[in-house]
Amino acid sequence: MKTQKFIHLNTVKSLLMSSLIALFYSCSPQEEMLLNEQTNAEASLPLSSTLSDAFNSSNFYSSPSGNLPKLTFNGSTSASLNTFIKNASNDGGAVITIPKATYKWNDILLQSNVHLEIEAGTIIQPESNSTRRIFNLGGNSSNNSRIENVSIEGVGGRFTVDISDPAFTNNNLVAFRVGRVDNFKLFSFDIEDRRSSVASICLVYVGNTNETRPWATNGVIQGITQYNAHTGYGLVQCYSAENILFKNIICHGGVTLRLETDDKVMKEEIKFGAKEAGVDQIFASNVRCTNGISPLMFSPHFMKNGSVTVDRVVANGCAFAVRVEQGFVELFDVDYQFSTANNTERDKFKAFIESQFNLSNGQSATSGNPYKRNNGTQWAVRLSAAAINAPRNAYVSNQLGNLMAGEFATSYVSDITANYRNNGAKIKQAHLGYIPCSEWSRLLNPTTSLGMFNGFEYHGPSVALSVDNTNGTSNNGNYIIQLSGQQFSGFPSGHIQNIKNNTGKLCNNNVNSITTYVAEF
């Protein structure tokens, strides 16, 4: 399905080329000031008018007509708001004002043609410790139909979604679940987190429906800042979506825009080709990260994804500005036969997976060692290209079906800035070797003080502008992300600007030499 809102990718390519030339010759001191971490989320560097058009909100979202009635919600509970929304939708829709107050909500179900305008200064918290989502835009399979024409916006300033209660630390909580919805907008608010698990805004594949493409299309997510995000998650994760604009989004910690198309339900429903999933026609402008992993991440897992176009990425004290992961398929210890308590069990699981394949010439079925998934409770391991392309027995086929290593269509990221800081970046163990040995004294290991297993993350200096684990081809999980307009700012001598899949490590120090400490939430 392609909609008339889509901008043809070839048009975007030509716009990017002409506009990047203009940008190169038009930098000013005022623009450089905008790279400061205090930059407001709504700030925007001047682009040429043609490239600006590619990121125009009207290409992705149609605002409601002025004829919709305006109503004011005078209740307080989730039940009363859901009833108010349902009645308004049944009457043809409305713009509903939410007066400034502190609310405790759970699973607020938007309905077609209903727009929530939330007054500045409003605070929205989870209703109880059992709350797992606060706002739900078509995210349920039980709904009889998709919803359309909805929005949640701050008016007169920003409102706050406060999910910082320690009860949600390392526990699943989604602030905005975005699923079977057409024409939507999320705008102008902050999210106060305390390392909750799952990204705060999830564009999901909705399982167990009669739709072939049960996910969001035509939307804008703009002017949003998240604080204290979990290293393994962040502000936004896109599992499946089409024709979406992300604009002026910031995350402190984690990943700001995670294009990681990995979901168990989605995997199960698409593995034999019965349904479609993944992301396509994704546009983003002004994506920023402070003290996290990166503002932007590509990781297709098993999905064949479409195009992504991004302009203006800024990393302040993050490990990277852009992270690109190779597509892959992985096998899980689905029966939990092997304990995750020690490496002996890890090696047994690896041997078990190797035994599922009959490869010639001593080829390995696995790529690297197994790793822990599901918060450290289950082993998984990636398959080698030889195993991915080999015949599959029942154990393998039951998990993978016909899935192959995922990819993105050739995509473009322009105007990228990585600002170095000597501490605060969140670093995965696999990337430690790209930090010069002279800077290893700056590394810290929080061990289990943040509620995760020892080795989940490390804290320290910025690593590089980009890391790309693909090999420059377009097969076996490889794909091309073209980077242009790079600013590599403040990095000490010895750092590598762009890490490739064949880049040698800078330091082979033992990870156990890193200083341990008790990290603060």
Q: Do 275 and 237 belong to one domain? A: yes
pLDDT at 287: 99
Cβ pair 230, 253 in contact under 8 A: yes
Tell whether 361 is covered by a domain.
yes
| Alpha carbons 29 and 40: distance in angstroms, whole number | 17
pLDDT band at 271 (very low <50, low <70, confident <90, very high): very high
Residues 424 and 459: beta-carbon distance below 8 Å: yes
Domain boundary pick from 384, 400, 416: 400
pTM across the whole model: 0.90
| Radius of gyration for the chain, computed over Cα atoms and rounded to the nearest angstrom | 23
What distance lies between CA 177 and its chain's CA centroid?
Answer: 13
Within a domain: residue 39? yes
Coil, strand or helix at 507: coil
Q: Establish if 187 belongs to a structural domain.
A: no
Neighbours of 269 (CB within 10 A): 22
Is residue 58's pLDDT more than 50?
Answer: yes
Same-domain pairing of 254 and 303: yes
Do 227 and 244 lie in one domain? The reply is yes
Do 310 and 278 sit in the same domain of this protein?
A: yes
Strand stretches in 138-180, DSSP E: 147-155, 159-162, 174-178
Are 378 and 408 within one domain? no
298 touches 408 (CB < 8 A) = yes
**Full residue range of the structural domain in which residue 27 is found:** 1-46+214-327+403-425+458-513
User: Average pLDDT of the chain?
Assistant: 92
**296 in the same domain as 358:** no
Counting the structural domains of the chain, the total is 2
For the stretch 73-83, pLDDT in tens is 999 999 999 99
- Report if residue 498 sits inside a domain: yes
> Per the domain annotation, does 78 fall within a domain?
no
In this structure, the answer to whether residues 311 and 334 fall within a common structural domain is: no
For residue 5, is pLDDT > 60? no
Going by C-alpha positions, the residue among 55, 35, 44, 46 that lies closest to residue 314 is: 35
Same domain, residue pair 233 and 313 = yes
Beta bridge partners of 315: 289, 418
**157 is a domain residue:** no
On whether both 353 and 501 belong to a single domain, the answer is no
Domain assignment present for 122? no
pLDDT at position 142: 74
Co-location of 225 and 300 in the same domain: yes
Q: Are residues 319 and 421 in the same domain?
A: yes
Per the domain annotation, does 383 fall within a domain? yes
Closest of 105, 96, 235 to residue 152, by C-alpha: 96
| Predicted confidence band of residue 87 (pLDDT cuts 50, 70, 90) | very high
Taking Cα atoms as reference points, which of 118, 36, 107 lies closest to residue 72? 118
Does residue 366 sit in the same domain as residue 494?
no
Region for 92 from its dihedrals, namely left if φ exceeds 0, alpha if ψ lies in -120 to 50, beta otherwise:
left
